[in-house]
Structure 1
Amino acid sequence: MQRPIPRQSAHEHGSRRAENDARLGDELASVIGGARRRAVRDGDRQIDTAHLLHSLLESDPELRAAIGDGPQVARLLGYLVQRSIGYGLRWQSGVEDSGAVPLVTETAGFSPLAAASMEYACERAARHGGPARGADLLAAILVDRQARAVEVLGRAGIDPRGVLARLDGRPDRPEEWVGGGDSVR
């Protein structure tokens, strides 16, 4: 007897909708797909910023270079892998949301911070006149200190403000974190 085809959950449907968003470049749609697969494999209820960061690092050597040198990136990937095998268990029961960014509810499947980061990446891309790229999403992820990806970067000894400055082509660091001291925009 053949088993019925499993129905797609609302979580998966919303993630796939984001992957097909015309404002995203092909590379970013692939990153989202990788983050979605990682979240499902890890048993997480939502795609969060750490899933997105992990997928970005795996897919884009230029972003790895913007984050730091080889040992820094290796340490960061080590923390992300640890998270996927148990380091993040304390996060599985909660929703990633700092309250510093407006809640974006139409992107089901993403944590509130990841959804806001996706939206900000599209806004950032619109300023340069193209679809959102990996650098846009990484910059969007880095602006909120409460993001899980920022926490993992910090644990790996990487300054997210320095990475953001490198992504923006600035030798200096952003002057302030806005939004109640929690984010930069």
Structure 2
Amino acid sequence: MQSPVPCPAPLPGGAPAAADRRRPARGRRGGPAATAALATAALAAVAAGARRRALRGGDRQIDTAHLLHSLVESDPQVGPAFGGQAQPARVLGYLVQRSIGYGLRWQRSVEDSGARCVVREAEAAAAGWSPSAATALARARERAALRGDPRVRGLDLLAALTADPDCRAVEVLRRAGVDPLVLADRIGELSQQV
């Protein structure tokens, strides 16, 4: 039986999947050395966790809610952006409900919030990412580059997720009682401190 999310799938424009690192770099711009520096181990773990959630849920693609779930659960830098422990707990509670059936209306549908996709949609779909998730990952890389850092941090991805008001991750945040604009402001403040 074929899995609903292709495996292995590299981060769009970022670190190659493990199988890609074993192959020669021919045919790939920049090769593994150039792209591996773009993603931190933490971001790779977030992407892997999001992929596992999509597979477990039988979803066709990894969406922004999968990324948010994995990010809030695994990246310690993300928690302080919520301004306390109650908000991340509510977000995780909502996401757990979704994973056990609360969010079935999203299952087997492609997330596309209408945000201008930085990554070509065909490439994103082939790699198993929804267009919105691929765009969020690309925007996170852009944010890190603007900071002068080749490594993408969890706060970069969280900022990219909150920047798309129509993505599933922002819908989850709103339903959990988190104001995405306030969260974006906190992310900006924390980013200046780091």
Q: Would the TM-score normalized by the shorter structure come out above 0.5?
A: yes
Alpha-carbon distance, 1:19 to partner: 4.8
Task: State the distance in 1 between where 2:93 and 2:131 align.
Answer: 25
Deviations 1:140-165 (A, max 9, x none): 01111111110010011100111111
Partner of 1:12: 7
Structure 1 stretches (4+) deviating beyond 4 angstroms?
A: 6-10, 15-19
Task: State the distance in 1 between where 2:142 and 2:152 align.
Answer: 8
Distance change >3 Å, CA 32–CA 93, structure 1 → 2: same
Alpha-carbon distance, 1:90 to partner: 0.3
Q: Percent identity?
A: 55
Question: Is the Cα contact below 8 Å between 2:117 and 2:135 reproduced in 1?
Answer: yes
Task: State the distance in 2 between where 1:54 and 1:10 align.
Answer: 17
Partner of 1:142: 162
Alpha-carbon distance, 1:67 to partner: 1.6
The one-letter code of the counterpart of 1:133 is: R
Pairing 1:58–2:73 present? yes
Mapping 1:85-164, distance limit 5 Å: 85-102=100-117, 104=119, 105=121, 106-107=123-124, 108-130=127-149, 131-164=151-184
Task: State the distance in 1 between where 2:156 and 2:138 align.
Answer: 10
Name the Cα RMSD after superposition: 2.1
The one-letter code of the counterpart of 1:110 is: W
Partner of 2:29: none
Pairing 1:68–2:63 present? no
Alpha-carbon distance, 1:15 to partner: 4.3
Alpha-carbon distance, 1:101 to partner: 1.8
**Structure 1: where are the runs of 5+ without partners?**
1-5, 171-185
Question: Is the Cα contact below 8 Å between 1:15 and 1:36 reproduced in 2?
Answer: no
Q: Report the number of matched residues.
A: 165
Deviation larger for 82-91 or 8-17: 8-17
